[in-house]
Amino acid sequence: MASKFFRLLLTVKWFNGLRGSPWRGPGVACNSGLFWVYFFQRGGKPVTYRSAAGLLVLLLLGALWAGCGNTQLVQQTSRPEAVISEENAEQALRHVVDASVYEVKGEHANAILEWQDALRYSNDHAIHYAMARDYAILKKYDQAIVSARKAVEISPAKTEYRRMLADILVGAYRYDEAIQEYREVIRRDSADLDAWHNLARLLAVRDPRGALETYEQIIARFGPNWDALAQAAEMYSRAGQFDKASDLMRKMSDLDPSNQALRLTLAQTLVRAGRYDEAIVVYSDLIEIRPDNMDLRVEIAGVLLFGKKYDEAERRFGAILESDSVSLDTKIRIGDMYYGMLEKDSTLTPATVALFSRIQKDRPDDWRSYWYLGLIGSSMRNDSMATRNFLGMTQKAPRNPDGWVSLASTYLGKNDFAEIVRILEPTYKKIDNDFRIPFLLGIAYSRLNRSEDAVIVLEKARTLSPRNADIVAQLALVYDGLRRYSDSDSLYEMVLRLEPNNHLALNNYGYSLAERNQQLERALAMSTRAVEAQPDNPSYLDTIGWIYYRLGDYTRALEFVAKAVEKGDVSAVVLEHLGDIHLKLGNRTKAMEFWNKSLSLDSKNTALKDKVDRGSL
């Protein structure tokens, strides 16, 4: 009889190997095999529950959770002396078998009902475990978690129970709890590599530093592990720690030396780590394998450039550029490498200009050489060079907004707002999906006192980029000038929500409130923060001085506004403010001096003329 049961159990294991299961664990495999036990026959007759009760309790429940340790007839509770009676064992067995049949049919809800009935007769950890699995399959994670926790509570030493609980917690998006369960699995079974990996993957989202430490532990404990190395290398790369990333990639390359894609990534990472000599060695090995690969030849010349081995880089780049097969894109790529080095070493400027000029001469129809030469001209403060090339870009690529924006920006730097309007008004109608064009046009309109026109285009810019603080701040300033204070205040508040430390908005809003003699204490707080951000900005110094004036603190007002005037290049308004402050301090002569200076800059200011004529405010 016993030998037939053991043969049956072997059949059960074979059957489950074919059947498969979305949940991995020995308990699952053994459980579904009860379907066959249900139909086991003895002497051509079905085995009755009572006739085989003793043996079935021992073997069937053992099969149900085979591989999970020895199943005893003693309930696994906090009171191990509580023994299941034969009658209860028989009743539990009936429901266990029926639950297994339902599972084979895929009727997990019915299986759960049978597991619940089985628990009325036997509070066995494996029944809770099986029920948790069925709840999880039905995506009823809250119930699954309760059952899985009960299984763990009854039998805390079974790490497979904790693994399933952790899996269910992940399915329920309860990652912090899952992390704790995986930690406990590892504490009890430090050789569980899957648990280590699952823990690291969860920590990658919640605690990247902890994830990296976990991957390092995996590598130290289990040796060079490809998945751990790859995940850690990627995380180090994302964190900008290219030294550590390249070290791990080298270990990966040692595991798979024929992986050329990996070696290329290693070389590129070494470059980003600034380890140019090591990168050249790796690139050289790759070029030996693929000597005709143009991209590799360009990259190794680029590494020499980045390593400031200019002569060798120039020699290699020259050979590439002389090749009849080199494409325009490759030439532009080489030029971009040189351009990227200009910020670090401006001595490369002549070579970079010569390279792009050569490209422009060979391919005058391509806009990219104009773009780079325009950028170089701007960085050199060569307005003629910048304007000429940006204009050429707009002619070669009229639908590319970068050319128009860059061209307009050169005139913005010269305060030539009329020219910006001339350039961008027709462009604004043709390119209607880039916020920069209406933004720059709005600035130009506002400086030309075309405030209503400025509102229209700035509102368009805000529609295209609603969370752009610069656009909102500029629009607020225009509304402020139109005395539409409800609109301007609302927009200033929006800017400060988007960027609480936006010093331009802090200054402008503070000044607006001071001009209206409102919320002066708040205005002072905002202005103070603006001055802290830019302590030498004359406009900001004037604002805080004017707020002190409104507060009646004329001595502090004089301190800041006088300092603004000392900085030079101040507006007529600042000079008028200084005159007003001197008058309040009883110095009429000084007041008249600064009022007259202000009037010389703004002769149309009738209110100031009256002030001068009266000699008083």
User: Tens digits of per-residue pLDDT, 329-354?
Assistant: 999 999 999 999 998 999 999 999 99
Q: What share of the chain is helix, strand, coil (3-state, %, to 5)?
A: 75, 0, 25
Determine the average pLDDT of the residues in 10-39. Answer: 32
Domain presence at residue 160: no
Q: Is residue 343 located within the same domain as residue 255?
A: no
Both 369 and 232 in one domain: the answer is: no
241 with 122, same domain: the answer is: no
Q: According to DSSP H, which parts of 239-275 are helical?
A: 242-255, 260-272
Q: What is the pLDDT of residue 431?
A: 95
Distance CA 102, CA 138 (A): 14
Where does a domain end: 155, 185, 201?
Answer: 155
Q: In the prediction, which pLDDT does 83 show?
A: 62
Tokens of 37: 């036990």
Task: Indicate if 52 and 122 belong to the same structural domain.
Answer: yes
- 329 in a structural domain: yes
**Which range is least confidently modeled, 32-41, 52-61, 105-114, 188-197?**
32-41
Judgement on whether residues 17 and 143 belong to the same structural domain of the protein: yes
Is residue 581 included in any domain, yes or no? no
**Mean pLDDT in residue range 485-500:** 97
For residue 336, is it within any domain? yes
| 292, pLDDT greater than 80 | yes
Asked if 36 and 11 touch (Cβ cutoff 8 Å), the reply is yes
Whether this model's pTM surpasses 0.85: no
Domain co-membership, 345 together with 230: no
Taking alpha carbons only, the member of 67, 69, 90, 71 closest to residue 16 is 67
How long, in residues, is the chain? 617
The answer to the question of residue 264 being in a domain is yes
Residue 344 lies in a domain: yes
441-452 mean pLDDT:
97
Q: Specify the pLDDT at position 89.
A: 87
Domain housing 25: 1-155
Q: Give 170 or 39, the one with higher predicted confidence.
A: 170
Considering 155, 189, 209, which residue would you say is the last residue of a domain? Answer: 155
Is residue 449 packed enough to be buried (19+ CB in 10 Å), middle (13-18) or exposed (0-12)?
Answer: exposed
Q: In which element (H, E) is residue 41 found?
A: strand 41-42
Buried b (16+ CB within 10 A) or exposed e, 235-266: bbbeeeebebbbbbbbbbbeeeeeeeebbbbb
**Closest to 250 in 3D by CA, of 239, 232, 240:** 232
Does residue 246 share a domain with residue 334? no
Evaluate if residue 289 carries a pLDDT over 70: yes
**14/151 same-domain check:** yes
pLDDT band at 206 (very low <50, low <70, confident <90, very high): confident
Residues ≥6 apart with Cβ < 8 Å to 356: 335, 369, 372, 373, 376
Residues 259 and 330 in one domain: no
Name the residue type at position 98. Answer: D
User: Do 69 and 158 meet the contact criterion of CB atoms below 8 Å apart?
Assistant: yes
pLDDT in tens, 392-434: 999 999 999 999 999 999 999 899 999 999 999 999 999 999 9
Q: Which of 291, 324, 350 is the last residue of a domain?
A: 291
pLDDT digits (tens, 9 = 90+) for 561-588: 999 999 988 899 999 999 999 999 999 9
5 vs 501 pLDDT, higher one = 501
Residue 597 lies in a domain: no
Using the 8-state DSSP alphabet, how is residue 73 labeled? S
Amino acid 569: pLDDT = 83
Average pLDDT, the chain: 86
CATH value at residue 142: 1.25.40
The predicted pLDDT at position 357 comes to 96
CATH number of the domain residue 249 falls in: 1.25.40.10
| pLDDT-above-90 percentage for the chain | 80
Domain count, the chain: 3
Overall average pLDDT of the 499-503 stretch? 96
Asked, for residue 357, whether it belongs to a domain, the answer is: yes
Same domain, 116 and 251: no
44-58, 269-283, 541-555, range with the lowest pLDDT: 44-58
**Judgement on whether residues 124 and 271 belong to the same structural domain of the protein:** no
End-to-end CA distance of the chain: 117
Identify which has the larger pLDDT, 487 or 89.
Answer: 487
87 and 129 belong to one structural domain: yes
What's the whole-number mean pLDDT along residues 14-32?
Answer: 32
